[in-house]
Chain A
Amino acid sequence: MLAHQITKFMNIKKILLVILVLVVIGAAYGYYQYTRGNKDLSGAKADVSISAVDLYNEYSADEKIANTKYLSKVISVRGKISKIDKDATGSASIMLDAGSDMGGVSCLLDTRHNDEAAKLHNGDSVLINGSCTGMLSDVVLVRCSVQ
């Protein structure tokens, strides 16, 4: 009888321990989800690999269709640098030539990769990973890094 009660008690203890572990894992996962930053897309597997010219032309032809294909996707875009801009806060944007006078593909560097701009020059051929946000006068990628 006593032995039976002891094993029952041990079972409850085991169950409580399992619940405690699950709660801790849940809390840790929740905390991770809540505090995680934006992923560094450098080296990330791209959803789409495309040239700057093709990306810009698809957007110019039909912005809505292009948005359904590319919005929020990780894009690996290749092209020639036509301009490197720095804003007042020092954030660098790399413009890729799209064969048009109206616009190009503008890639805002991820803050973790902002220094990469210093190594780049107009005319360089580059491969850039970034997240597509749509089109204003240019197709705009953010969180970019040079691959």
Chain B
Amino acid sequence: MIRMKKIIAIVVIVMMSSSLTFAQKYFTKNGNVSFHSKTAMENIDAVNKKAVAVIDASTGAMEFAVLMKAFEFERALMQEHFNENYVESDTYPKGSFKGKITNSSSVNFTTDGSYPVTIAGKMSIHGVTNDVTAKGTIVVAGGKINAISEFTILLADYNIEIPSVVKDKIQKSIKIIVNVWLEPKS
């Protein structure tokens, strides 16, 4: 009888720990997503510190969402132009990415380390959705994970038109930098 209890206890513990390792989701509401454009005339940097991100360690699925108006520029005028003329954030207030880590089996979410990953999914900005693939890194450190990626998108792919007067000041392809720290979701 005691033995039986012991076995049940072990089974329960194993089930609990496996559900912890396999059904673990990581989450943040304070992720950093920035973008960068560089031409001979002008450097433009904008950062959004309120990205919401979820990564499911068991499937490698990931979702990111940002509010376009939460991108902060050093210069207020650029921020106004970005919102009013380019991404039209009153009409399209959100940007999102839904996809997965294609090689998630090579990431050990329970062992500290740095794992190179490839991400594929769909990104929506300005009411337009496109397929995106990107290289990135998942760093596992003390139970938290740091997801890092840099990739470029073409503004034209998202129907964002740059008026000819400023075409020398804004790159046609914009570099997007993702750097988010996620914590286990309780």
Contacts and interface: CB of A to CB of B under 8 A. Distances in A.
Contacts of A88: 32, 146, 179, 181
Contacts of A33: 77
Contacts of A106: 29, 50
B118 interface: no
Instruction: Classify the secondary structure of A's interface with B.
Output: mixed
A85 interface: yes
Given A37-B75, A89-B49, A71 B70 contact: no
Interface string B63-94: 00111111011111101000100000110011
B57 interface: no
Contacts of A38: 72-73, 76, 79
Contacts of B29: 85, 93, 106, 136-138
Contacts, number: 80
Contacts of B69: 71-72, 131-134, 142
Interface size, B (range): 20 to 34
A78 interface: no
Contacts of A85: 29-30
Interface of A: 33-39, 67, 71-72, 85, 87-89, 91, 93, 106, 108, 131-138, 140, 142-143
